[in-house]
Chain A
Amino acid sequence: MAKRKPKLAVWKFASCDGCQLSLLDCEDELLALADEIEIAQFLEASQAVVRGPYDLSLVEGSITTPQDAERIQRVRRVSKHLVTIGACATAGGIQALRNFQDVKEFTAAVYARPEYIRTLERSTPISAHVPVDFELNGCPIDKGQLLEVIGAFLNHRRPQIRSHSVCVECKRRGTVCVMVAQGIPCLGPVTHAGCGALCPAYRRGCYGCFGPMESPNTESLGGWWKRLGVPAEDLVRVYRTFQTGAEAFRAASEAHDKEKG
């Protein structure tokens, strides 16, 4: 009898779908992937759904509604391994900007009948609700890293996802440091590797879309950015993007917010 193929499920919560699309973007590798696993639930790709339980669940998106807070519990129950994909599922996403404000003010401003809207005060990562086996960060995630994580789970080994700075990736590819050589503010030294140091290769500073690296020293970097002429209010903003809910970036933005008074 042929070995049963492991079942893969992809789940969406509050998100833009970009990370799920990384799976479809795998193109050449997608057929090889389909040979090895049964794509049992992936609504972005097919309406055909195979019942659980699932060997590996990829979860995209953050928890922003009471219904989703319940649904993630069901997803966890039917998943042997649960891996978050992307900034939303891992850190709360851009929608975690609400965490700094009164969400009722937003709903009142946006909707004609805000009383129909059931939403939570805060956008939270999946790990705030259920145990997570691995978090793959990025906005969006890198497809090479996604295949590495899936491959690692299929082969029962640890994923090779390094959590050091983006600087290491710049140096390995020979990119000249944009901050040192051109004075361009860059979040690379406090940001998690994984993108392959894409932005500095195009002479842009890193904007932190892969979230905090393993030991981010945002205070020291912030001091240097000020020497480059970046005011405190801009430092608040650079940490309030896709990874604003990540603890180190949230704390850095609040520290700079206090400085500007």
Chain B
Amino acid sequence: MAFLVERPGLEGIFQRLRGLGYELVGPTVREGAIVYDSIRGAADLPAGWTDVQEGGNYRLKRRDDDALFGYAVGPHSWKKFLHPPRRRLWQASREGGGFEIRPEPESGRRYAFVGVRACELKAIAIQDRVFLEGQYPDPSYRGLREGAFLIGLNCGQAGGTCFCVSMDAGPALKSGFDLGLTEVLAEGRHYFVVEVGSEAGAEVLGAVSHREASVEEVAAAQGVVAATAGQMGRAMDTAGIKELFYKNYEHGRWDEVADRCLACANCTMVCPTCFCTTVEDVTDLKGEHSERWQSWDSCFTLDFSYTHGAGPQRASTRSRYRQWLSHKLATWIDQFGSSGCVGCGRCITWCPVGIDLTEEVAALRKPSP
């Protein structure tokens, strides 16, 4: 069953969440882009803004309506909250002849994410697989993930670098949200069709003014997401993609892309599924206190594959780009049971020289130059 919340009623959902102790984070305009940051309420949302995206290019643009979610994904992803760029793992101090380790307490932060796209929900599900399953679950990620309230969003606007349809990751919400919104602006009205995805979602919706959505309103919402599916700026043929990579380790295209690749690591930083980190131990000058910090790292850095006595295993940019793309699209399937790509297009837009993985995959399908 779908419900209806009028545009002004959205604020009630936000304030209810704040009342429940959630830290509200969502899209807002900053530094010439729509980023994810702390917001106080609906007034901070990017009303009337959209973005134009191409390889290596992003520009904000005014819409001719007041849509709150009328943009595609920006430079940030939700991983910056669930898997923070830098965090302390533990501290140690000298005590007498030995030392004492103090583990880092869990942050206890409870986020409410506003406007999580289908591709992003899929990315979160992929990171759940990485961080929560297997022998060594990540307690920090688990705490933040379990504490989070997710307001999903049926995408009403695809960008020039979007290809979630190819990756079977969107634009329609399937599962994994507490509340699922579809924003509708039609016939002079501005409203949200709301699906409930969890008990917590039902409780929050129950606290604000809503009613059952009419058949026409539900159809209008379905029309929005269907239109978005037709707006994809990119496409990727994923048929037999694992074998494509396994057969083409020596394809000439790797040399060609390595000429353009800056090995700057931007693609991995903006990717909502890339999860690699490094740890650094810092000491005070006295050598009495030390701390271990974890930071986002990237397979594009030389240190990433550095081994003692042998140096970096992936010294060339060719080998690093090949490692990243092969992992993302092929070996990820063997490792985690799904592709590592959700078709959000961030790596294309935020590559400083516009390298486009959909083009690279298409080139790999052609004979080696």
Contact = CB atoms under 8 A, between A and B. Distances in A.
B297 to A, nearest CB: 8
B303 interface: yes
Contact of A221 (B265, B298, B303, B352): B352
Interface of A: 29, 32-33, 35-36, 147-148, 150-152, 154-155, 157, 160, 162-165, 167-168, 171-183, 186, 188-190, 203, 213-215, 217, 219-221, 223-224
A180 B286 contact: no
Interface in B21-67: 30-33, 35, 37, 56-60
A160 B266 contact: no
A140 to B, nearest CB: 21
Contacts of A154: 285, 287
A168 B301 contact: yes
Interface stretch (B3-11, B152-160, B240-248, B254-262): B254-262
Between A29, A175, A215, the greatest number of chain B beta carbons within 10 A of the residue's beta carbon is seen for: A215
B317 A215 contact: yes
B280 A160 contact: yes
B202 interface: no
Contact of A172 (B261, B286, B287, B295): B295
Nearest to A164: B301
B16 interface: no
B29 to A, nearest CB: 10
28 contacts: A29-B285, A147-B285, A151-B283, A154-B285, A154-B287, A165-B262, A168-B264, A171-B265, A171-B266, A171-B270, A172-B295, A172-B296, A174-B35, A174-B37, A174-B85, A176-B31, A177-B352, A180-B352, A181-B33, A181-B58, A181-B60, A181-B75, A189-B266, A217-B262, A220-B259, A220-B260, A220-B353, A221-B352
Contact of A180 (B56, B85, B259, B317): B56
B302 A215 contact: yes
Contacts of A164: 264-265, 298, 300-303
Contacts of A220: 259-262, 353
A203 B31 CA distance: 8
B27 to A, nearest CB: 13
Contacts of B76: 174
A168 B270 CA distance: 10
A217 B353 CA distance: 11
A162 B303 contact: yes
B353 A221 contact: yes
B31 A32 contact: no
Nearest to A37: B285
Interface centre among A33, A167, A189, A203 (most CB of B within 10 A): A167
A143 B33 CA distance: 32
B182 interface: no
Given A167-B269, A168-B296, A177-B75, A214 B32 contact: no
B270 to A, nearest CB: 7
B76 to A, nearest CB: 7
A121 B224 CA distance: 69
A171 B85 contact: yes
Contacts of A173: 85
A176 B35 contact: yes
A36 B30 CA distance: 44
Given A164-B298, A174-B35, A190 B58 contact: no
B174 interface: no
A168 B265 contact: yes
B57 A180 contact: yes
A191 B35 CA distance: 25
A69 to B, nearest CB: 32
B350 interface: yes
A151 B285 contact: yes
A168 B85 CA distance: 10
B86 interface: yes
Given A174-B35, A174-B76, A190 B353 contact: no
